[in-house]
Amino acid sequence: MSVPSSLKVGPNTTLVLAKKRYLIIYIFLIWISIFSIQFEFWVIWFVYKIPKYVQFYFFLPPVVLLMYLTAIFVSLFFAKILLVIVNLFHKPREGVILRHKSDKDYKYWSLRSVIKKWPLWLAHKFPFPFMDNICLKMFGVRTKYANSLFEGFVDTEFLDFGKNIVIGQSAIVQSAVIVGNLFIIRKTIIDDNVVIGAHSIVMPGAHLKRDSILAGSSMTTVGQVLEEGWVYLGAPAKKHKKNVFFENDLENVIAAQMEKEAISDIRSEDLYTMRKDKETKL
- What is residue 196's predicted lDDT score, i.e. its pLDDT? 93
**What pLDDT, in 10s, does the model give residues 189-228?**
999 999 999 999 999 999 999 999 999 899 999 999 999 9
**Would residue 167 be called left, alpha or beta, if left means φ above 0 and alpha means ψ between -120 and 50 degrees?**
beta
> Which is it for strands 182-185 and 176-179: parallel, antiparallel or unpaired?
antiparallel
Residue 77 CB burial class (10 angstroms; 0-12, 13-18, ≥19): middle
Average pLDDT of span 240-258: 67
Global confidence as pTM: 0.77
- What is residue 233's predicted lDDT score, i.e. its pLDDT? 92
Q: Which of 15-24, 178-187, 194-203 has the highest mean pLDDT?
A: 194-203
Locate all alpha helices (DSSP H) within 103-143, ordered by sequence: 104-124, 130-138
Q: Is the pLDDT of residue 254 over 90?
A: no
- What is residue 251's predicted lDDT score, i.e. its pLDDT? 60
For residues 224 and 208, give the distance between their C-alpha atoms in angstroms, rounded to a whole number: 8
What residues does each domain of the chain span? Answer: 5-151, 251-282
**What pLDDT, in 10s, does the model give residues 155-180?**
989 999 999 999 988 899 999 988 88
